[in-house]
Copies of this chain bind each other. A is one copy, B any other.
């Protein structure tokens, strides 16, 4: 890219003043291709920027202030079409709104932890029978679990309807230990149907196994599930129960039912070995 006629060229230090980006930052942006100098002296390696690059540098500064990754930034700047570029930026701003909401709820969650006493969550033991269901399984990262469920459950309910069947209970999911221990692992989202249903690609007919479950009811947003997991896990541990199989969640009141996440209700179910439970009973 050569400077057009009438444009003037700036040394990196001058360009830093006009853009409020540091020299170190500018060199880094050159390395990764975010802002490439209009000219690089082949002999000395001196970078020369054109005054016409100042505007996009200002854009870069603003997008970086909002933590847009450099790789995405490079793509945005490369967008040949002006309108494509602005559309991508507006989509990014949309994601920023989501982040803002997350931020707010993180603050609320911290305040709640400080103000509310560690609750003595009620735990009940419950036998559940094998349950015919329609399910979708995948390896999911914890960060993406919300989005994944948001597409999985509509697909499941839709498939059940297409199959001429009806849900006979709330949707739920099984979480492998790796999901918690590695922050990513196999998740099975299911909706019970009571009978086998023919399903389309991407879904499967699945029998949720019978189990003895230690169950606690979680009230509120999913980000605060750790508290209920803590109470339930402490209960299981102190009672000397041995865990048996993937943890389950039952979505009694889900985001499909309410926009107020304080109203969400989730059963957290910790499968336990019946032998360990009966050992504890006589005590």
Residues of A bordering B, CB below 8 Å: 8, 10, 13-14, 16-20, 22-25, 51, 54-55, 57-59, 61-63, 65-66, 86, 89, 93, 96, 100, 103, 106-107, 109-111, 113-114, 118, 142, 177, 180-183, 223, 225-227, 229-230, 233-234, 237-238, 247
Contacts and interface: CB of A to CB of B under 8 A. Distances in A.
B110 A66 contact: yes
Closest 4 CB pairs of A and B: A18-B233, A20-B226, A22-B183, A62-B110
Contacts of A181: 13, 16-17, 22-23
A31 B13 CA distance: 41
Given A22-B181, A93-B111, A114-B89, A234 B65 contact: no
Q: How many copies does the complex hold?
A: 2
Contacts of A24: 182-183
Label chain A's interface by main secondary structure: helix
Contacts of A89: 110, 114
29 contacts: A8-B234, A8-B237, A8-B238, A10-B233, A10-B237, A13-B181, A16-B180, A17-B180, A17-B181, A17-B229, A17-B247, A19-B229, A20-B226, A22-B182, A22-B183, A54-B230, A54-B233, A58-B113, A58-B227, A58-B230, A59-B110, A59-B113, A62-B109, A66-B107, A66-B110, A86-B114, A89-B110, A89-B114, A93-B110
Contacts of A109: 62, 65
Contact of A182 (B10, B23, B180): B23
Contacts of A19: 226, 229-230
A225 B194 CA distance: 65
A66 B58 CA distance: 27
Contact of A233 (B14, B61, B66, B229): B14
A234 B18 contact: yes
Contacts of A177: 13, 17
A110 B13 CA distance: 24
A55 B18 contact: no
Nearest to A17: B180
A255 to B, nearest CB: 19
A20 to B, nearest CB: 4
Nearest to A18: B233
Contacts of A18: 226, 229-230, 233-234
A20 B93 contact: no
Interface centre among A63, A66, A142, A180, by most chain B C-beta atoms within 10 angstroms, is A180
